[in-house]
Amino acid sequence: MTDFTPKQALLGALIAALALGGCATTDSDARQAVEMVDSEAALDTPQPDWDTPFWERFSKSDNSAQANASTQAFQRRDEPLNNVGVLIEGNVNNADAFMAALRDGAPQHGFVIVPPGTLREAMNNTQGCGSSAGDSGCLAGLAIYPGVRLLANVKANGQGGLDVTLRDTTRDNSASATLNAASEQSAGALLDELEARAGSARWSVKAFDGGDGHLYISAGRRNGLDLGTELQVRQPGTPIRTPAGQVVAWRPGAVSGTVKVTQWVGEGMSVIETVSGTAPTASDWLTLPRE
């Protein structure tokens, strides 16, 4: 009879959960799983009372190095880190190395790259994402969970380079870019472009009802939030357009209430509670207070 260590058991459970959830595990996903289990805090993963998705349930719970890095990035930029989704379509050479470079460089540009398995699972369960990631209903759903601010579709262009379509889930806006072959340099160029796009509007997130009497947001420790962080509930804002009609920025709506982060669910989700005013609705955005 073989004796399994707690670390081996946790790794096996994580990989099995990915397979049962319908997600094809890639080398990148497997590497992330190993990194989770190798952390000293992996065995202390919290078990919430509610039915959390498997990709959150097996997330790292108290990786102090990662938590400190996120908090430092938040303090430097005076904003939490935005969630960015990257969809690599078709056969792109060096795709795993490209994604690894994006993940490593993202915090310095103000981002967290949503794990590919989480993004795929969310798209499979979001109305409108089946035919096109650019569908307005799909983008609205991804803005709620997994809280995607920017979505990048990446595919090989047949000429040795990459064609990228960038979409902002906070408004009807898209842009295109062409990169050299997937590499660390191309990943840096994409992060620079994403940072420029994200700068047109403040960090924001939407709340959703988890069906258990609690409200949640798709942001947490990895974004640089703390327990007790207060967020303003803002009504839908107004787009700022150029004379040609192009949306270049977004003016937040009026403040109707305040909520605060009260509990973690994995690294990338939080429970929130209303502190004052009205509770957030599906159309409201939550932002940090600003003078």
**Does one domain contain both 51 and 156?**
no
pTM of this structure? 0.70
Q: Identify the domain boundary among 152, 178, 198.
A: 198
Q: Convert the pLDDT of each residue in 97-127 to its tens digit.
A: 999 999 999 999 999 999 999 999 999 999 8
In a domain, 72, yes or no: no
Total count of domains within the chain: 3
C-alpha span between 164 and 175 (Å, rounded): 8
In a domain, 62, yes or no: no
**Does one domain contain both 175 and 118?**
yes
**Does one domain contain both 213 and 190?**
no
Average pLDDT rounded to a whole number, residues 235-256: 79
In a domain, 192, yes or no: yes
Q: What percent of the chain has pLDDT over 70?
A: 71
pLDDT at 253 over 70: yes
The mean of the pLDDT values for the chain is 78
In a domain, 215, yes or no: yes
**Does one domain contain both 211 and 192?**
no
Question: ∠ CA(109), CA(71), CA(81), 5° rounding?
Answer: 40
In a domain, 87, yes or no: yes
Q: What percent of the chain has pLDDT over 90?
A: 48
Name the β-bridge partners of 270: 217, 264
In a domain, 64, yes or no: no
In a domain, 227, yes or no: yes
Average pLDDT rounded to a whole number, residues 225-230: 95
| Residue ranges making up the domain that contains 242 | 207-287
- The whole-number pLDDT of residue 291 equals 60
Q: For the sheet containing 82-89, what is the strand order?
A: 111-113, 82-89, 148-156, 162-168, 173-179
Where do the H-state alpha helices sit in the chain?
6-20, 27-38, 54-57, 64-77, 95-105, 116-124, 136-144, 184-198
